[in-house]
Amino acid sequence: MKMIIFGGTPGSGKTSVIKFVMQELKDLSIHYAKFDVLTTEDHLLIKDKFGINTEKKISGEICPDHYAALEIPKIVEKHKNKDLIIIETAGLCLRCSPYINEGLAINILNILAGKPSSYGPLLTHADVVATTKGDLISQAEREIFRSEVLKVAKNASIIEANGLTGEGAIDIAEAIKESPEIKGKLTLKHSMPTAVCGYCYGNKTIDSEETLKRYSLGKELKARIPNLNCGKCGFKSCNEFIRAVLDEKVNEDKCPYLEDKKE
> Model confidence at 207, in pLDDT bands (50, 70, 90)?
confident
- Flag whether pLDDT at 195 surpasses 90: no
Number of domains in the chain: 2
For residue 256, the one-letter residue type is P
- Which of 133, 158, 178 marks a domain boundary? 178
Per-residue pLDDT reduced to its tens digit, 139-168: 999 999 999 999 999 899 999 999 999 999
- Tell me if 100 is assigned to some domain: yes
Q: Residues 25, 91: one domain? A: yes
Q: Residues 151, 213: one domain? A: no
Q: Residues 126, 249: one domain? A: no
Q: Residues 150, 250: one domain? A: no
Per-residue pLDDT reduced to its tens digit, 60-82: 877 888 888 889 999 999 999 99
What are the distances in angstroms from CA 132 to CA 137, 172, 189, 207, 241?
11, 13, 24, 42, 38
Q: Residues 107, 146: one domain? A: yes
Residue 60: count other Cβ atoms within 10 Å of its Cβ. 13
Per-residue pLDDT reduced to its tens digit, 232-250: 999 988 888 999 999 999 9
What pLDDT score does 56 carry?
Answer: 93
Q: Residues 134, 214: one domain? A: no
Q: Domain with 245 in it: what CATH number? A: 1.10.15.40
Q: Residues 77, 174: one domain? A: yes
Q: Domain with 113 in it: what CATH number? A: 3.40.50.300
pTM of the model: 0.82
Domain region containing 240: 208-262
Q: Residues 112, 22: one domain? A: yes
Q: Residues 236, 165: one domain? A: no
- Flag whether pLDDT at 260 surpasses 70: no
